[in-house]
């Protein structure tokens, strides 16, 4: 709790002053323990949204190897996500992670969700699959399917599906977004309106009852909305960390969702709240 003198200081300035005090103590008293060092790294992430190995190495007067080990340990605890040369805060709104980095987050939950989602795919279905790491886990479980038509804007998903000669793959045109290996933009939206499917499997970065479905990229959001319009059934794939959270760009209201497939970390209250809106919640 702040004392009377501290109470006059705005919260963000107080946090900054506290951070400077901690850093100064490092220089005054030498290297801190591993626990203290990692605590300061977390504070740096909260202040800046990202940290670099070189800056942290200079700050603590330790080797880059030590800092990389710190970041690896914190990543395993889902505190941050490793990026080239440093790390990023895990949950800031609007952060658009490259797919290679998103693939590290909650991967076990995504595998379970992908396997469960495959149970909703029937032979002779025509389905749409959005880009994303959870969608890829669904695709990895479609190897035994036959007489299936898949429409996708994700090049990595199309490549994975190409290994099965019994699955027909349709790739609408568009502009390549390298972070997600997906085709987006007006050409992609127009192309998707030429098709209608039985089911859409959609990954999202945020699902909020009041605000709706969201994703970090505005053009991806527009395309996702088009895909929803052209689908008979909308099946959302989202691990529990994305529920009751918002990202940057709005896709649609939650009323558009037919089924949500998530992991068993969802609370009973949240599950009931979604089911009260008419959404079928499936636990992987």
Residue in this structure with the two tokens 């760009």, named with its chain if needed: 249
Report the pLDDT value the prediction gives residue 81, as an integer from 0 to 100.
Answer: 79
Report the pLDDT value the prediction gives residue 33, as an integer from 0 to 100.
Answer: 83
pLDDT digits (tens, 9 = 90+) for 93-150: 556 666 666 666 678 999 999 999 999 999 999 999 999 899 999 999 998 888 899 9
- Asked if residue 17 has pLDDT above 90, the reply is no
Supply the CATH number for residue 172's domain.
3.40.50.1360
Same domain, 179 and 121: yes
Question: Across residues 243-263, what is the average pLDDT?
Answer: 93
Output the pTM of the full model: 0.70
Question: Across residues 225-249, what is the average pLDDT?
Answer: 93
Lowest mean pLDDT among 97-101, 167-171, 188-192: 97-101
Report the pLDDT value the prediction gives residue 180, as an integer from 0 to 100.
Answer: 85
Same domain, 208 and 128: yes
Of 67 and 35, more confident: 67
Tokens found for residue 30: 């030498």
Query: HEC string of 21-58?
Result: HHHHHHHHHCCCCHHHHHHHHHHHHHHHCEEEHHHHHH
Is 206 among the domain residues? yes
Domain range for 133 is: 107-283
Report the pLDDT value the prediction gives residue 1, as an integer from 0 to 100.
Answer: 46
- 102: helix, coil or strand? helix
Same domain, 59 and 147: no
The secondary element (H helix, E strand) that includes residue 151 is: strand 148-152
Pairing type for strands 212-215 and 206-208 reads antiparallel
243: which DSSP letter? B
| Domain tally, the chain | 2
Mean pLDDT across the chain:
85
Is 52 among the domain residues? yes
């Amino acid at each position: 709790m702040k004392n009377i003198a501290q109470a006059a200081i705005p919260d963000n300035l107080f946090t900054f002053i506290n951070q400077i005090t901690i850093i100064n103590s490092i220089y005054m008293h030498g290297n801190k323990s591993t626990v203290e060092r990692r605590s300061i790294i977390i504070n740096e992430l909260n202040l800046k949204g990202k940290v670099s190995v070189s800056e942290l190495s200079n700050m603590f007067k330790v080797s880059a190897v030590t800092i990389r080990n710190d970041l690896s340990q914190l990543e395993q605890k889902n505190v941050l996500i490793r990026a080239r040369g440093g790390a990023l805060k895990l949950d800031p709104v609007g952060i658009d992670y490259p797919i290679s980095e998103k693939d590290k987050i909650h991967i076990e939950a995504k595998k379970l969700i992908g396997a469960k989602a495959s149970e909703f795919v029937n032979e002779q279905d025509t389905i749409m699959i959005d880009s994303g790491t959870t969608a890829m886990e669904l695709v990895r479980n479609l190897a035994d399917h036959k007489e299936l038509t898949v429409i996708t804007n994700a090049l990595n998903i199309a490549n994975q599906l190409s290994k099965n000669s019994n699955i027909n793959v349709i790739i609408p045109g568009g502009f390549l977004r390298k972070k997600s290996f997906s085709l987006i933009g007006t050409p992609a939206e127009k192309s998707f309106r030429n098709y209608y499917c039985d089911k859409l499997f959609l990954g999202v970065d945020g699902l909020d009852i009041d605000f709706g479905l969201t994703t970090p990229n505005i053009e991806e959001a527009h395309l996702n909305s088009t895909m929803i319009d052209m689908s008979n059934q909308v099946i959302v794939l989202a691990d529990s960390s994305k529920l009751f959270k918002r990202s940057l760009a709005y896709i649609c209201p939650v009323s558009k969702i037919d089924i949500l497939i998530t992991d068993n970390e969802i609370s009973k209250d949240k599950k009931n709240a979604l089911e009260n809106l008419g959404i079928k919640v499936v636990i992987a």
